[in-house]
Amino acid sequence: MPPLTANRATGEALLQAFAPRMGRRYANGRNTDHGPGAHKAVSGLSPYIRRRLVLEADVVALALATHGPEEAEKFVQEVVWRGYFKGWLEHRPQVWDSYRSGLESDLAALDRDRRQRRDLERAMNGQTGLECFDAWASELVETGYLHNHARMWFASIWIFTLGLPWRLGADFFYRHLLDGDAAANTLGWRWVAGLHTRGKPYPADAQNIATFTAGRFTPRAADLAEVTQGLEASEPDGLPPIRPLRSVVTPQPSRPTAVLITDEDCRIEDFDLSSLDIRTTATLATSHLRSSWPVSDLVTQFETQALADAAQRVGGTAQSLQADDPAALAKWAKAAGVAQIATAYVTRGPLRDWLDQAAPALDAAGVTLCEWHRDWDTAIWPHATAGFFKVKQNIPRILERVLA
């Protein structure tokens, strides 16, 4: 499969091409993994939505206009899921902090456990001997994509059949998925492990795999562990308490401003740039922050293209920055003589961590980090405090607000 082109025009072309399949065809076929090059029942839009080269509101509006609310219901719900996960993690940032610290411990433990290190390498290299799992590992590394159902099976086998730490699996996904983001990836793995919906792990079932790969794979029941309980005993205190959503400082008109473009949101032209006194613009490369291990070239290349496309649409010349030394952000802003940096809202994840590390230097330089917040997020996130059902119940009201 040729690499995807990471720009707004390609994303919107894919969106229009998939519009006829957003209704019954999606609902009926979305769960079947037909394999690389044959994922026709799903949109393939997730890498573009992840970076907001394509907007969730536009995707949902097109689905509703093309198929109506009844036939488009399942597709709309799946688009809303990503917003739910992001909002849930914004309410419980402690879960992200726990993932990062736990991952560091899991990686350090590999130095002491030769057998686990060997098993991990076999899993990541697609050499476990379990045909379906090995094929999915190879597809992920080679294409940067896995069908959502395959992600669930893969994670379940990783955790319960292979007995590998779930955070190492989440890290493997995050380093390779073109659509990887901190919330969907971390909480998806936690869901499979029985940590997100407490005590309800997801079992990889041999018959289910055979059915929903259209017979491409037919593992034996004995090949897969019987999943009787999840990993909830590893977190005996349960889920951490809900915190208020982080407050945002919005960019102030007429103030000397530096515009910062990240792959959190590559539609920066949607915001009110004309009211700002823009002195400089930069793109910030951040994909390497996903892991302390090497991140896939496919991911970094997609990010590079997306940022270049975003900068081109804003116009003018954009400096290319790399998220290495956090203090460099303040140096860039101070050199441009600005009082504020304007960027799109950065959700909980490695870039948010990096910006928090940059905060003392920004404060010392008298520079305020300001963020634009999209209506899509502000409409969904207040409901994202428990399971998805609460959000699902409110979808009509959410859409009424964002599509008005």
DSSP letter assigned to residue 178: T
The 10s digit of each residue's pLDDT in 69-103 is 999 999 999 999 999 999 999 999 999 999 999 99
The 10s digit of each residue's pLDDT in 118-151 is 999 999 999 999 999 999 999 999 999 999 999 9
Residue 1 above 80 pLDDT?
no
Q: Given CA atoms 143, 147, 148, 154 in this order, what sign does their dihedral have?
A: negative
Delimiting residues of CATH 1.25.40 domain(s) in the chain: 8-89+380-402
Give the residue among 385, 350, 401 at the shortest CA–CA distance from 182: 350
* Phi, psi at 106, each rounded to 5°: -65, -40
Residue 317 above 90 pLDDT?
no
Delimiting residues of CATH 1.10.579.10 domain(s) in the chain: 100-234
380 — pLDDT class (breaks 50, 70, 90): very high
Whole-angstrom distance, CA of residue 70 vs CA of residue 228: 36
403 — pLDDT class (breaks 50, 70, 90): very high
Report residue 248 as tokens: 């945002």
**CATH architecture of the domain with range 256-373:** 3-Layer(aba) Sandwich (3.40)
Whole-angstrom distance, CA of residue 266 vs CA of residue 49: 10
**What pLDDT is recorded for position 31?**
97
Query: Whole-model pTM above 0.75?
Result: yes
Q: What are the angstrom distances between the C-alpha of 272 and each of 7, 181, 189, 251, 379?
A: 21, 26, 37, 9, 20
**Nearby residues of 94 by Cβ (< 8 Å), 6 or more positions away:** 240, 243
Give mean pLDDT, residues 38-61. Answer: 97
The 10s digit of each residue's pLDDT in 320-360 is 999 999 999 999 999 999 999 999 999 999 999 999 999 99
Q: What mean pLDDT, rounded, does the chain reach?
A: 97
316 — pLDDT class (breaks 50, 70, 90): confident
Give mean pLDDT, residues 190-199. Answer: 95
Helix (H), strand (E) at residue 116: helix 114-124
Helix (H), strand (E) at residue 319: strand 319-322
CATH of 8-89+380-402, one of 3.30.310, 1.10.10, 1.10.287, 1.25.40: 1.25.40
Whole-angstrom distance, CA of residue 154 vs CA of residue 288: 24
Give mean pLDDT, residues 294-305. Answer: 98
**Nearby residues of 49 by Cβ (< 8 Å), 6 or more positions away:** 55, 56, 59, 79, 82, 179
Residues of the chain above pLDDT 70, percent: 100
Three-class DSSP category at 20: helix
Whole-angstrom distance, CA of residue 404 vs CA of residue 393: 19
224 contacts 161 by C-beta, under 8 angstroms: yes
247-252 — which CB contacts under 8 Å span 24+ positions? 248/345, 248/370, 248/371, 248/373, 249/368, 249/369, 249/370, 249/371, 250/370, 250/371, 250/372, 250/373, 251/276, 251/340, 251/342, 251/370, 251/372, 252/340, 252/370
CATH number given to 100-234: 1.10.579.10
Whole-angstrom distance, CA of residue 187 vs CA of residue 388: 12
**What pLDDT is recorded for position 225?**
97
Three-class DSSP category at 2: coil
Whole-angstrom distance, CA of residue 38 vs CA of residue 28: 16
315 — pLDDT class (breaks 50, 70, 90): confident
**404 vs 212, residue with greater confidence:** 212
Whole-angstrom distance, CA of residue 384 vs CA of residue 90: 9
Residue 2 above 80 pLDDT?
no
283 contacts 310 by C-beta, under 8 angstroms: yes
Give mean pLDDT, residues 217-234. Answer: 96
Delimiting residues of CATH 3.40.50.620 domain(s) in the chain: 256-373
Give the residue among 353, 367, 360 at the shortest CA–CA distance from 327: 360
220 — pLDDT class (breaks 50, 70, 90): very high
Q: Given CA atoms 6, 1, 151, 286 in this order, what sign does their dihedral have?
A: negative
Residues of the chain above pLDDT 90, percent: 98
Report residue 117 as tokens: 């290190």
203 contacts 325 by C-beta, under 8 angstroms: no
Whole-angstrom distance, CA of residue 49 vs CA of residue 294: 24
Residue 300 above 70 pLDDT?
yes
The 10s digit of each residue's pLDDT in 244-260 is 999 999 999 989 999 99
